[in-house]
Amino acid sequence: MANQSEDDVRVWLVERTYSDDEQNLIILTYATPDGKQYYRKERALTSFTDVRDTTAAVDAEPDNLGTVDEPDLQEQYAAEAQRMQEVHDPDDVI
């Protein structure tokens, strides 16, 4: 993964949703395998010709990670992050 620093944390795609507030916005949520931290990316869907791959994992700076406080959500994120890690290579396009 490009531009990775030693301190970056690998997070795995756990959720892909569309924003209710804005049109043409997709929200990608990545989480650590233990489900305790998450990283959120927002992406505008500007056109069908705009190709931007979504990968199974990304490396995020620790300062950009949020904490998952809800135990049920933490469990859900952990299960999905672990499943993604077992099935995909980090650079796999999802």
Query: How far, in Å, CA of 52 to CA of 48, rounded?
Result: 10
Q: With respect to residue 44, please indicate whether it lies within any of the assigned structural domains.
A: yes
pTM reported for the whole predicted model: 0.84
The confidence band for 92, taking pLDDT boundaries of 50, 70 and 90, is very high
| 41: containing domain | 9-87
Q: Domain for residue 3, yes or no?
A: no
Residue 4 lies in a domain: no
In a domain, 34, yes or no: yes
Q: Which of these ranges, 6-10, 15-19, 58-62, 72-76, has the smallest mean pLDDT?
A: 15-19
Which of 4-8, 14-18, 39-43, 77-81 shows the lowest mean pLDDT across its residues?
Answer: 4-8
Residue given tokens 């199974």 in the structure block:
56
Amino acid (1-letter code) at residue 22: E
Q: Is 50 inside any structural domain?
A: yes
Region of residue 35 (left: phi > 0; alpha: psi -120 to 50; beta: else) = left
Provide the pLDDT for residue 3: 52
> In terms of pLDDT, which residue wins out, 47 or 58?
58
- pLDDT score at 1: 45
CA distance 88 to 94: 9
Q: Is the pLDDT of residue 41 over 70?
A: yes
Q: What is the mean pLDDT of the chain?
A: 88
